[in-house]
Structure 1
Amino acid sequence: MAPSTLQNGGFVLGLLGSAALIAATAMGRWSVKDRSGDLITSMYTYRGLWRDCETTAAGLTECRPLYGMLGFSGTFQAVRALMIVGVVLSVLATLLSLFSLQCLSMNTMQDSTKAKMSLTAGIMFISAGVCGIAGASVYANQIVSSFQTTANNNYNNNFGGGGFGGQYGGGGGMGVGIPTYTFGPALFVAWIGGVVLLVGGILKSVAFREMIKNDKPRYPGVVYKTQSHAHTDDHTDGGNKYV
C-alpha cells in the first residue's frame, strides 16, 4: 500500500478518535442511574468526570460541579488523569500528523523528516488510545463493583454504603435506598475512540516504514557493471591478465 494512503488513513482515523476522546471526556453521562425495578421514575440521575446531575420529570436539571481534588478517590482521579493525557496526546498527534502528510508540500522539509514525524504521530496516537481505553475500563470496573455492593446493601436495607458513588459525596434524597448506577454512553464513546486511535497510530507507523523504504538511494546496476569492465581492462594486456 502506498505511504500516502497509509498516512491519509491514519490521519483521518486519528482525527476521528481524537474527537471521540474529547467528547467522551466532556460528556456528563459516564454512569447513569439504573431504573430497572425502580418504582420512583420521576428523578433521573447521571454522573460524569466533572459533575453530577439530576433531572426531574418536569425537565428541570440541577448539576453539582466536581471541582475538588481531595474529596475523591485515587481511582477516580486516575481516570481523570488518563483521559486528560489521552486528549492532549491525541490533539498534538493530530497536528503533527497533519504536517507530516506527503500531500502537504513544504519546501524546507525533507521526506525523511516527514517520515520521522509520521512515526512520532503514530506512537502518540497509540498512547492516546491506550489512555482512553484504560480510563474507560477502570471507570467501568468501579461501576460494576459499586453496582454489586449497592444492590446488596439495598437488599439488606443497609443505607450506609456507597461504593464508587461514595467518592462523589453520596446520592441520597433520590428515592428509597441507595441508587445503583450502570454504564453511561460516554464509556462506549471513549472505548470506540481509543480503538480508532490505536488503528490510526498503527497506520501512521506502517507509513513510516514505507516512506523510509522508498527514500533509500537506488543506484542503477549498469554503473557497477561499467566499473567492473574498467577494472578488468586495467589488468589485461594482449589477452594476458596480470595478477
Structure 2
Amino acid sequence: MSSMATEILAFILSVSGWVLISSTLPTDYWKVSSIDGTVITTATFWSNLWKTCVTDSTGISNCKDFPSMLALEGYIQVCRGLMISSVSLGFFGSTFALVGMKCTKIGGSDKTKSKIAFFAGFNFILTGLCSLTACSLYAHRITTEFFDPMFIAQKFELGAALFIGWAGSVLSILGGVVLCFSLAEGISTSQQGYPYSGATSLGASHIKANYKHNHPHKTSLDYNTPSMQFGKNAYV
C-alpha cells in the first residue's frame, strides 16, 4: 500500500512539473526590459522563443516574429529543441506511468508494469533535465549581456517564464527519481527468495506410507523402534 501511495505521489509531482514546463513554451516573458518615463513606464520590451514584442503605456503590443530558423541565434535554436524534446518526453512519460502504475488495470503482470513505470520515471528525469538546461542557457545569455560593460544594446532581465520552467524542471526530476527508486525497491523485494523447507524424498515418503499402513493408531513415525532403525547399508 505504501509503494502504491509513493507511486501516486511521484506521478503527481512529475505530471505537475511537465504541465509547468509545457506552459513555458507559449509564455511571453522569457526576458523583459522597460523604458521608464518621468511618471509612468512608457514601453515594455519582452521576448520569448518565438517573437519579440513591445507594449506601450496604453497596453497595445506590437510583435515581430523571429526570422527564418537558419537566421536565428544559436542559443535560441538550442533552447527551442530542448523545450520541445522536454514536452515530448513528458508526454510519453505520463502515458507510460499510467500504464505501469500498480493502481491501474492495464500493463500486464506486475513485473512488466514495474519495468514500464521505471522507464516512465527515467523519461520524467530526462524531461526535467532538458527543460532545466534550456532555461539555464537562456538565463545565462541574459545575465552575460546584462553585466557586460561592453554590451551597448538594450539589456534585458529574467522573465517569469524562466522561473516557471525551473520550478517545473525540479518537480519533474524529483517525481521521476522517486518513481524510479520506489519501483526499484519493489522489484528487489519481490525477487527475494523464500526460505527452503526441504523436500521429502521418494524413499522417505514410501517408508512413511508403509508405517501408517502397519500402525494405523499412531500419528507419527517413531524412529526409536527397532523396525525403524536402519544399518549403515540399509539402502545398498
| Same fold flag (TM > 0.5) | yes
Identity over aligned pairs, percent:
27
Partner of 1:126: 125
What does residue 238 of structure 1 align with? 229
C-alpha distance in structure 2 between counterparts of 1:241 and 1:225, whole Å: 22
- Within a 5 Å distance, the mapping from 1:116-155 to structure 2 comes to 116-149=115-148, 152-154=150-152
In the alignment, which residue of structure 1 is the partner of 2:76?
76
Q: Is the 8 A contact 1:10 1:204 kept in 2?
A: yes
- Taking the aligned partners of 1:241 and 1:182, their CA distance within structure 2 comes to 93
Displacement of 1:226: 5.3
| Cα contact 1:6–1:206 (8 A) shared by 2 | no
How many Å separate the matches in 2 of 1:191 and 1:207? 24
Instruction: Give 2:88's aligned residue.
Output: 88
Q: CA deviation at 1:126?
A: 0.5
* Offset of residue 76 of structure 1: 1.6
Q: How many residues align?
A: 214
1:31 Cα offset (Å):
0.4
1:83 maps to amino acid? M
Q: CA deviation at 1:218?
A: 5.0
Per chain length, whose mean CA-contact separation is higher, i.e. which structure has more relative contact order (CA < 8 Å, sep 6+)? 1
What residue is the counterpart of 1:2 in the other structure? Answer: 2
Number of the residue aligned with 2:211 = none
- Structure 2 length as normaliser, TM-score? 0.80
Is 1:184 paired with 2:159?
Answer: yes
Residue of structure 2 equivalent to 1:193: 168
RMSD: 2.9
* Counterpart Cα distance in 1 of 2:67 and 2:229: 95
Larger Rg: 2
Corresponding position: 1:55 with 2:72: no
Aligned to 1:209: 184
For 1:54 and 1:226, locate their aligned partners in 2 and report how far apart those are by CA, in whole Å.
Answer: 86
Distance in 2 between residues matched to 1:44 and 1:98, nearest whole Å: 43
Structure 1 position 241, deviation (Å)? 4.7
Distance 1:220 1:182, change over 3 A: same
Instruction: Name the CA shift for 1:109/1:57 in 2 (closer, same or farther; >3 Å).
Output: same
What's the CA shift for 1:119? 0.7
Q: Is the 8 A contact 2:66 2:72 kept in 1?
A: no
Per-residue deviation, residues 80-104 of structure 1 (Å, max 9, x unmatched):
1111111110111011111111111
Q: Could you tell me which amino acid in structure 2 is paired with residue 238 of structure 1?
A: Q
- Which secondary structure does the structure 2 equivalent of 1:94 belong to? helix
Q: CA deviation at 1:115?
A: 0.2
How many Å apart are 1:216 and its aligned residue?
2.9
Instruction: In structure 1, list runs of 5 or more residues that go unmatched.
Output: 155-177
Q: In the alignment, is residue 101 of structure 1 matched against residue 101 of structure 2?
A: yes
Say whether the 8 Å CA contact 2:27–2:48 is kept in structure 1: yes
In 1, Cα distance between equivalents of 2:232 and 2:7:
56
Distance change in 2, residues 1:77/1:241 (3 Å): farther
Q: Provide the residue aligned with 2:217 in structure 1.
A: none
Which runs of 5 or more residues in structure 2 are unaligned?
209-222
Output one character per residue of 1:15-68: Cα deviation in whole Å (capped at 9) or x when no partner: 101101001122111100155x77683111101001111111011011112252
TM normalised by structure 1 equals: 0.78
Q: Distance in 2 between matches of 1:152 and 1:217?
A: 64
Distance 1:34 1:224 in 2: 81
Amino acid at match of 2:147: Q
SS of alignment partner, residue 45 of structure 1? strand
Q: Distance in 1 between matches of 2:167 and 2:138?
A: 15
